[in-house]
Amino acid sequence: MQKVLLLDNQNRPINICTWKRALILLMKGKAVNARRLNDIESMIKIENVLIPNVIKLTYDLAVPYKELPFCRENILVRDEFICQYCGKKFPADELTLDHVFPKSRLGPDIWENIVACCRHCNQKKADRTPKEAKMKLLRRPFRPKDYLIFELKKCPDYLVRQWIDYFEAS
């Protein structure tokens, strides 16, 4: 899914949205192209429509505190698709989620208790704590703090580079 960087009307990054959301904001006049020139390379082409990859809100926004959704995708991104026991990197569909303190013993579904884990390590660990299974965690699981930086991790490098160029040029 193509992503667009959304700025507030003071040019501060506030969000990364899908091209669909960007298109709606542009069509409703709630946002405009933030780039000074219609630089084709920085446009996303969807059929015959060109959407800039940086847009700017046209109105004042009191940015509400945004809680990062607790979901499988975000846990895998936090753990960089690395099994937190064996340290190897896997494609998303080969990773499972492991409850560090086992779910069968009422380990909670919270950021601090769930890690990315390959199938092999998950089977090996089974319903045990890392200590009982004699398996060491790469790092303690944590709740990611900065929403925007976290969202950036999900975007392809070339896109992040274009956004950085935007700020360097403006």
Cα–Cα separations (whole angstroms), residue 10 to 42, 59, 138: 21, 10, 40
- Closest approach of Cβ 75 to Zn ion, in Å? 15
- Closest approach of Cβ 84 to Zn ion, in Å? 8
Contact 5, 22 (CB under 8 A): no
Point out which residues bind Zn ion (CB under 5 A). 83, 85-86, 118, 121
- When the beta carbons of 118 and 159 are compared against Zn ion, the nearer one is 118
- When the beta carbons of 140 and 145 are compared against Zn ion, the nearer one is 140
- Closest approach of Cβ 98 to Zn ion, in Å? 9
